[in-house]
Structures are given as C-alpha cells and as structure tokens.
Structure 1
Amino acid sequence: MFVKKSRGPRTAHMADGSILTLADLPEVGMRWVARRKAIVVAAVKYGLLSKDDVIKRYDLSEEEFDTWAHMIERHGRDALKITQLQKFKQP
C-alpha cells in the first residue's frame, strides 16, 4: 500500500480518545451533511489540518467554516443539521 507523504501530522487524538486521520476526512465535492461538517471542524480543532488548508481544500468561505465551528461549540453537532436550523438560529 502506498502512503502519500503530506506535510504535518497524519493523525490527531481527539478529546474522547478516538483518532482522526486524513482518511477520515470527506472527499472534495461530497454533499455536506452534519457529520462531515463536524469531522472537518474537528480536523482543524485537533491540529490535523489548518483552517486555511480546509478552506482551500473544500472551497469554503471563512465565514461558513467559522459558523460551523461556532454552532458545534455552542449547540453540538445537531445544530449543523438543516432540519434543525430554525431551532438553533439566533433571534
């Protein structure tokens, strides 16, 4: 098996003891669901990728990524679900 060389770490140890790897990241161009958004935010939070790398890789705006991170921090992963958007929306 060929392992592609990359800058930076290949794994990150998360607070719950699980390990996040580059292979766990969603493919570029996939449909965004709450689980995939949470994985990308965790990758930045635990140092697997930088925020700039994620923004470039997934063609996100800085505001969009910051919103995801804020919603997870404040309300948890469920706040990223489209069906729950009105429940967690700021007045």
Structure 2
Amino acid sequence: MQSDNQQKQNQVIGPLGRPLTLDDLPNTNTKRWVIRRKAEVVAAVQGGLLTLEDACKRYSLSVEEFLSWQQAINQNGLPGLRTTRIQKYRGQEVDNR
C-alpha cells in the first residue's frame, strides 16, 4: 500500500482540474499536439511528475519548444497554446511594451 506522500508524488493536478499520472500522459508517439496534450505535459513537468529532460526525451521535444508551451500557458492560459493564435498573442506582447 502506498502512503499519501508517495501517491502525491505519483500524480499532479492536470489542466482540466483532475489528477494526472504518468499513465494519463499522451502517448510517446504523439504527432498531433492539441492544447490539452501540451498542457498535460507542462503540468506534469511543473508538478514534478516528469523532469524537463525526461519530457523532452519522451516526446522528442526541444527544450525551446517545451518552454514556449510553458510560457504560452503562463502568459495567456490554455488558449495561448492554440497554434492559430500565436500571432495574435505575440502582437499583444509588442503592443504592451
């Protein structure tokens, strides 16, 4: 039986507010990165479920790509991960300076 402390280390709260474990993460061969999948990987890294290095290896991501997802979420929430919205949000950054 796992202690509460061990269980907490094996799951984090995902982007939809539900517990997220390694088994819940996207498949390692994922080719289509929808908002939810990107957000799940970011939540897993931020919550300590995966290291940044492990996530990049697991999903064949560059560190820059992962960090861009993380930054998009931090600046604009989940809608910031929409690839069709990148230019819109980047335009807002320029306007605010």
Q: TM-score, normalised by structure 1?
A: 0.79
Aligned equivalents of 1:43 and 1:20: distance in 2?
8
In the TM superposition, residue 83 of structure 1 has moved relative to its aligned partner by 2.1
Task: Tell me what 1:23 maps to.
Answer: 23
> Structure 1: which amino acid aligns with 2:87?
Q
Task: Tell me what 1:6 maps to.
Answer: none
**Is the contact made by 2:13 and 2:43 (CA closer than 8 Å) also made in structure 1?**
no
Unaligned runs of 5+ in 2: 1-8
* 1:74-89 map, 5 Å: 74-89=75-90
Q: State the Cα deviation string for residues 19-47 of structure 1 (Å, max 9, x = none).
A: 11112100012211111000000000111
Runs (4 or more) in structure 1 with deviation over 6 Å come to none
Amino-acid identity (%): 46
Structure number with bigger Rg: 2
* 1:1-91 map, 5 Å: 9-13=9-13, 18-30=18-30, 31-89=32-90, 90-91=93-94
**Is the contact made by 2:12 and 2:43 (CA closer than 8 Å) also made in structure 1?**
no
Q: CA RMSD in A?
A: 2.0
SS state at 1:78 partner: helix
Task: Give the helix-richer structure, 1 or 2.
Answer: 2
Q: State the Cα deviation string for residues 40-71 of structure 1 (Å, max 9, x = none).
A: 00000111111110011001001111111011
Unaligned runs of 5+ in 1: 1-8
